[in-house]
């Protein structure tokens, strides 16, 4: 059985000419000399390396579609006909108290100094990609009013055209980072936080020093990797001047904009854009502890770590070293993940898929915990978009997993809200939206809630993408309350692995979650035999 | 190759792959995904290195 067919995908804006395709190569069974397109090989014939990436850069996000042998759909959620765990202290569960709107979806993370969130979700790293930059206001205000954390990704200072460096090449002024932090803080409601991610280039530029001295941020994130790829963060720039500037700031820029041949090709418009790449990191145990120590001495109250879909060795390092370094949140992002820019075939074919990675993470965390070693709070990431996924991930990783990191899914409402604003202005609402009305308060079901939250006057300044994210987070929250009530878990901490069953023997073997015909069998037999 | 930390073709080897199914592991002799690197992982969980 083929799990993923290459050579044509909407991500690379390609398609096979024929309906009949060889599964392994993805090449049409009848490949014709004279074909006018449009498979990946056809297009790579004249656009070459451009075909490595989903596109167009800046207006899309991409997620891989390899159909792995086992994924979260192989788990189902239990519902029970009795019981109520996690009700407020002293409250007895009965049909009047154990109502689904009473379910508490609040969560928190942190080794000592906890950060509370109203819903157990937070944004993936929104970094230097164009789609993160141009939609930031929507994402940041949306996360703030939803009471969840937002992660500002790597390289934000490094690519800022208005960045000012000191004589020692450290960040002196970074207006885009300032804007990002201030936007979130302005609407912060006491839940969640903004934290900033840091990679090799950010470390060299002194981003940590800048954000703590100027903005007094409490949390910074070290970055080992992500689910979408295992090379550094990437963006595209379309001017040779920008490409040269980024090269001067220490980034890897391809093709080399200082090469006269490349310059000539750019002038001829054969080369239309440049790629800016970050460096590969090299992790080491003592270097990791030293860096955590340095950041704590700078004044950060919390240090978090994000790791990617690496194999079991690096996963063990992430969990063990985080335990020893008292890391405040460890985010474990599985393949294929989502992205603003990552090599398409890498997304499809690299790394540990989310379910496998998360299953191993639980196994490793449990091993440490059983030996009396404290496990840091964990977040799972890598392909989640709905409340059932959030529930399953919380249960799979219980009691270690406190929240789910969502990338693409949490970005969509920001973009949709922004576009609705434009469509209203242009009197061009699509029918999918106009069937609910033509004004903001008619279209957005949570408009009045947000107005109540920020005030009658301030609502005028709230971007519609933010109201979109609020509405979506409410959908996740209420859906989660329903699933949790069904599983008789009235707060996040009361969710356990027992709330899940495996639909296949293979899933049971990978995850350790019992096969559905074995789940609760002992309890059932006791009743039958009584 | 950069992803697998291999900076020359001669360094690419079978350890850079995992099998997604038991059947693939049996056919190809490439370790199953939940077993690949497990010895290293267990050692790290005990000692940190």
Decide if A300 contacts A208 (C-beta within 8 A). yes
Q: Phi and psi for A68 in degrees, rounded to 5?
A: -70, 155
- The DSSP code sequence of A200-269 is HHHHHHTHHHHHHHHH--SEEEEE---SS-SS--EEEE--HHHHHHHHHTT-EEES-TTSHHHHHHHHTT
Asked if A359 reaches chain B (Cβ–Cβ under 8 Å), the answer is yes
Which residue of A226, A316, A375, A507 to mutate against B (max B Cβ within 10 Å)? A316
pLDDT tens column, A243-302: 999 998 888 999 999 999 999 999 999 999 999 888 878 899 999 999 999 999 999 999
Q: Is the pLDDT of residue A172 over 90?
A: yes
A352 touches B at CB < 8 Å: yes
pTM over 0.80: yes
Instruction: Give exposure, A439-457, as e/b (b: 16+ Cβ within 10 Å).
Output: ebeebbebbeebbebbeee
Q: Is A486 exposed, middle or buried (0-12, 13-18, 19+ CB in 10 A)?
A: middle
Q: Which of A234, A203, A233, A246 is nearest to A221 (CA)?
A: A203
Contact B45 A69 (CB under 8 A): no
Residue A313's nearest CA partner among A220, A404, A225 is A225
User: What does the mean pLDDT of chain A come to?
Assistant: 95
DSSP A376: P
3-state secondary structure of A91: coil
Residue listed under structure tokens 């993805």: A26
The pLDDT of residue B49 is above 80: no
At A208, the pLDDT band (50, 70, 90 cuts) reads very high
Residue B41 and residue A315: Cβ atoms within 8 Å?
Answer: yes
Q: Residue A304 above 90 pLDDT?
A: yes
| Helix A136-146 and helix A447-454, axial crossing angle in degrees, nearest 10 | 80
Closest partner CB to B20 (pick from A3, A313, A320): A3
Q: How far is CA A64 from CA A28, A187, A334, A426, in A?
A: 21, 34, 11, 34
């Amino acid at each position: 059985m083929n799990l993923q067919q290459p050579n044509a995908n909407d991500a690379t804006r390609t398609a096979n000419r024929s309906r009949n395709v060889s599964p392994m190569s993805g090449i049409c069974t009848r490949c014709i000399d004279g074909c006018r397109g449009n498979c990946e090989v056809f297009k790579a014939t004249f656009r070459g390396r451009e075909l490595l990436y989903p596109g167009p850069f800046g207006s899309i996000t991409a997620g891989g579609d390899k159909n792995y042998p086992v994924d979260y759909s192989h788990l189902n959620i239990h519902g029970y006909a009795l019981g109520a765990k996690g009700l407020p202290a002293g409250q007895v569960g009965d049909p009047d108290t154990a109502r689904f709107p009473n379910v508490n979806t609040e969560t928190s993370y942190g080794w000592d100094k906890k950060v509370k969130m109203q819903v157990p979700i937070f944004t993936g790293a929104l970094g230097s990609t164009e789609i993160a930059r141009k939609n930031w206001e929507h994402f940041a205000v949306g996360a703030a009013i939803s009471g969840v954390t937002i992660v500002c990704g790597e390289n934000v200072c490094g690519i800022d055209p208005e960045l000012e460096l000191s004589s020692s090449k450290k960040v002196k002024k970074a207006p885009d980072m300032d804007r990002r932090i201030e936007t979130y803080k302005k609407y912060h409601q006491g839940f969640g936080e903004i934290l900033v991610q840091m990679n090799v280039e950010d470390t060299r530029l002194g981003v940590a020093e800048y954000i703590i001295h100027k903005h007094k941020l409490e949390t910074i994130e070290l970055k080992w990797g992500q689910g979408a790829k295992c090379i550094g963060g990437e963006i595209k720039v379309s001017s040779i001047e920008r490409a040269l500037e980024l090269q001067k700031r220490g980034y890897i820029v391809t093709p080399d904009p200082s090469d006269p041949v490349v310059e000539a090709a750019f002038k001829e418009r054969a080369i239309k854009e440049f790629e800016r790449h970050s460096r590969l990191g090299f992790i080491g145990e003592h270097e990791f502890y030293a860096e955590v120590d340095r950041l704590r001495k700078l004044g950060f109250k919390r240090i978090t770590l994000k790791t990617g879909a690496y194999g079991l060795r690096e996963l063990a390092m992430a969990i063990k070293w985080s335990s020893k370094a008292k890391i405040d949140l460890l985010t474990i992002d599985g393949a294929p993940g989502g992205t603003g820019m990552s090599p398409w075939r890498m997304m499809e074919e690299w790394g540990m898929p989310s379910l496998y990675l998360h299953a191993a993470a639980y196994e490793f965390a449990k091993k440490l915990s059983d030996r009396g070693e404290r496990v840091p709070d964990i977040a799972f990431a890598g392909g989640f978009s709905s409340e059932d996924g959030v529930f399953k991930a919380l249960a799979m990783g219980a009691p270690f997993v406190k929240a789910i990191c969502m990338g693409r899914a949490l970005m969509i409402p920001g973009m949709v809200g922004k576009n609705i604003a434009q469509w209203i202005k242009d009197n061009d609402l699509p029918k999918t939206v106009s069937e609910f009305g033509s004004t903001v308060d008619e279209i957005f079901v949570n408009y009045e809630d947000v107005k109540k939250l920020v005030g009658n006057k301030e609502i005028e300044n709230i971007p519609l993408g933010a109201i979109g994210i609020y509405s979506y987070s409410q959908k996740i929250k209420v859906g989660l309350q329903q699933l949790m009530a069904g599983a008789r878990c009235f707060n996040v901490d009361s969710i356990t692995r027992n709330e899940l069953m495996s639909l296949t023997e293979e899933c049971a073997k990978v995850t350790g979650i019992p096969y559905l015909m074995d789940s609760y069998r002992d309890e059932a037999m006791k009743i039958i035999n009584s | 190759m950069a992803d697998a930390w291999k900076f020359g073709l001669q360094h690419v080897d079978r350890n850079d792959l995992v099998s997604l199914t038991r059947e693939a592991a049996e056919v190809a002799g490439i370790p199953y995904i939940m077993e690949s690197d497990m010895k290293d992982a267990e050692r790290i969980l005990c000692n940190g290195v």
